């Protein structure tokens, strides 16, 4: 696991966006795994800017989103499909049929989970997966106790996650307590993973993910098993790490090595 510590949230988004821009430049028909939530928004804006400045094209890109609320139609303002349209897809030259989000309103959600796994396989697997991090260590909607080899499935949200997301719903609006999410095993199948975490509220989860034991109690700790995972943090999110100076030293050495190899 590569740990990168940046001074603030803007620098985290810039670093993460650079990884995606490099991936798309090197492989224009990449398969990308995408995430919702407040953390990726600044990264998505940088991708939009790169497209609008004609530095990137998404015409051959395929995307798969991590999760969706069960019971919300795609056009619902709180659905993750709606979020992705507003925050990214509507501003790119990506083909609508190449943007996949779990079918939250499917008549048979169990079958929809199996179909989603098959769609990812048919696309050749995910080249680069973007992740955020929940305060309880969840990735996607894989809450604590999720199996570390789990696949796309229906998950019950914890009370903590429901409370965290309540700000997006009005008091009289239905808020789902179930979701469809890629499993941890599905996420680990991606060839590269980039996780972004910012803010002091994520510091405990960050420490459990990086320095804690591999455990279903912190689903994100499964990234310790991934051979190509990059965790990008701001100072606040990294503030509880015991080995923070060591991670900075490693990153400095990595940058010097890449510079010598002409890959910086």
Q: Which of 68, 143, 189, 234 is catalytic?
A: 143
Q: Which of 36-40, 194-198, 199-203 has the lowest mean pLDDT?
A: 36-40
Q: Which of 138, 142, 189, 226 is catalytic?
A: 138
93 is a catalytic site residue: no
For the stretch 245-257, pLDDT in tens is: 999 999 999 888 8
Give the CATH number for residue 161: 3.40.50.1360
Pairing of strands 178-181, 128-131: unpaired
127 is a catalytic site residue: no
Q: What is the mean pLDDT of residues 55-77?
A: 95
Report yes or no: 251 and 5 within 8 Å, Cβ to Cβ. yes
Domain tally for the chain? 1
In this model, does residue 259 exceed pLDDT 90? no
What Å distances lie between residue 96 and 57, 63, 213, CA to CA? Answer: 14, 10, 41
Residue 151, C-beta contacts closer than 8 angstroms, at least 6 positions apart: 113, 117, 182, 183, 185, 186
> Residue 189 is part of which domain span?
2-260
Q: Which of 136, 142, 189, 226 is catalytic?
A: 136
Rounded to two decimals, what is the model's pTM?
A: 0.94
In this model, does residue 163 exceed pLDDT 90? no
136 is a catalytic site residue: yes
142 is a catalytic site residue: no
**15: helix, coil or strand?**
helix
CA-nearest of 132, 111, 180, 177 to 33 is 132
């Amino acid at each position: 696991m590569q740990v990168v510590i940046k001074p603030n949230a803007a620098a985290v988004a810039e670093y993460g966006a650079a990884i995606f821009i490099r991936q798309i430049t090197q492989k224009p028909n990449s398969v990308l795994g995408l995430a919702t939530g407040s953390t990726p928004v600044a990264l998505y804006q940088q991708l939009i800017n790169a497209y609008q400045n004609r530095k990137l094209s998404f015409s051959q890109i395929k995307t798969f989103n991590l999760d969706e609320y069960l019971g919300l139609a795609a056009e619902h303002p709180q659905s993750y499909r709606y979020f992705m349209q507003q925050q990214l897809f509507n501003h790119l030259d990506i083909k609508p049929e190449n943007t996949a989000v779990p079918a939250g309103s499917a008549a048979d959600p169990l079958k929809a989970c199996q179909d989603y796994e098959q769609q990812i396989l048919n696309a050749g697997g995910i080249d680069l997966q973007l992740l955020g991090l929940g305060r309880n260590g969840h990735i996607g909607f894989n809450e604590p106790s999720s199996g570390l080899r789990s696949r796309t499935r229906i998950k019950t949200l914890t009370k903590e996650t429901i409370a965290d997301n309540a700000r997006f719903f009005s008091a009289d609006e239905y808020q789902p307590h179930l979701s469809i999410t890629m499993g941890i095993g599905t996420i680990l199948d991606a060839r590269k993973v980039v996780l972004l975490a910012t803010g002091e509220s994520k510091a405990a989860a960050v420490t459990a993910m990086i320095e804690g034991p591999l455990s279903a109690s912190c689903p994100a700790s499964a990234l310790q098993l991934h051979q190509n995972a990059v965790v990008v943090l701001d100072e606040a999110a990294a503030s509880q790490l015991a080995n923070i100076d060591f991670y900075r030293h490693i990153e400095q050495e990595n940058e010097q090595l890449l510079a010598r190899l002409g890959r910086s």
